[in-house]
Amino acid sequence: MRKMKVLVLAFVLFFISDHVYAVCDASESTELNGLANNVNVAYDIIQKEIPKDENFNYPDGLTEEEREEFVAYDDYFRIIISNLTEDLYVVVTNENTGEKWTFTYADSDNGIVNFDDLALMEIVNYTIVVYSSDVTNCPDTELSTKKVSTPMYNPYSELVACEGIENFYLCHEYLEVDVDFSNFNEEVQRYRDGLIDDSGDEISDEEDDGNGFVQFLKDNIVMVIVVVVVIIVAGGLITFVVIKRQRRRIV
């Protein structure tokens, strides 16, 4: 009977030890933190064709044939999470809406997972928290937090005010800052007046003087060439006269 109890106890201990996680030691914790730090988050802009369902809006004035050939697209931001491993999973939160998604290595393509969100007229902030998975001895441990923000679609880029100054940051198709219309007009005018550069930074007096001189040369290139030629020719004549007079004196 005693022998039977020992065997039962041994069996129970074996069963428990086979199903209990080993200790999450400092070495494994350090390794997991290193893997989490390698996780990268980025975004890309893609286009998707808009399906022609009953809610599709065609531009006015199209013929039936033109409607059949017409194709419209919506812009999307593709959020890309890379370097995910079997030891990790991520929880993504859209801070604007509160929506959450969980992605494991099984959801990935060789460690890369992505999802698409429609481009909006607002900046969208995402928080990505990296956790250790249940294949480790430290399951569900928060390891790292990463953030990424997608820019807002810029309706100002379609205005006449942006014609000819497409390099100006407030005329880009997407903006990383929100600006109201009055500030937009003010900044555009300052840019056209040469007070700020493409990035919206103030232009110093030294930079302004240099740019003004270069712009003067560009705007008056023909006149500048004529003046230079006249100076060269006049200089040549003066040299010729001086030399000729010196020779006469020598004779």
- 131: in domain: yes
Provide the pLDDT confidence category of residue 87 given band limits of 50, 70 and 90.
very high
Q: Exposure of 19 by Cβ count < 10 A (0-12 exposed, 13-18 middle, 19+ buried)?
A: exposed
Q: What's the CATH code of the domain at 119?
A: 2.60.40
Buried b vs exposed e over 68-88: b needs ≥16 C-beta within 10 Å?
eeeeeeeebbebebbbbbebb
Q: Dump pLDDT digits (tens) for 194-236.
A: 999 999 999 876 555 555 555 555 566 766 676 666 666 555 5
Task: Check residue 67 and give its pLDDT.
Answer: 84
Q: What is the pLDDT of residues 123-140, one digit of tens each?
A: 999 999 999 999 999 999
CA–CA distance, 20 with 63 (Å, rounded to integer): 70
- Domain assignment present for 219: no
The DSSP H or E segment spanning 247 is helix 221-250
In a domain, 89, yes or no: yes
The answer to whether residue 20 is domain-embedded is no
Q: Is the pTM of this model over 0.75?
A: no
* Residue 177: band (very low, low, confident or very high) from pLDDT cuts 50, 70, 90: confident
More confident of the two residues 75 and 14: 75
pLDDT for the residue numbered 6: 42
- Domain-embedded: residue 74: yes
The boundaries of the domain holding residue 123 are: 25-153
How confident is the model over 63-88, as a mean pLDDT? 92
User: 212 or 186: whose pLDDT is higher?
Assistant: 186
The pLDDT of residue 66:
86
In-domain check, residue 67 = yes
Task: Let me know if residue 190 belongs to a domain.
Answer: no
Domains held by the chain: number: 1
Residue 111, amino acid: G
Compute the average pLDDT of residues 22-33: 91
Q: Percent of the chain, pLDDT > 90?
A: 56
Report d(CA 201, CA 199) in Å as an integer.
Answer: 6
Half-sphere exposure of 90 (CA within 13 A, CB side): 33
In a domain, 251, yes or no: no
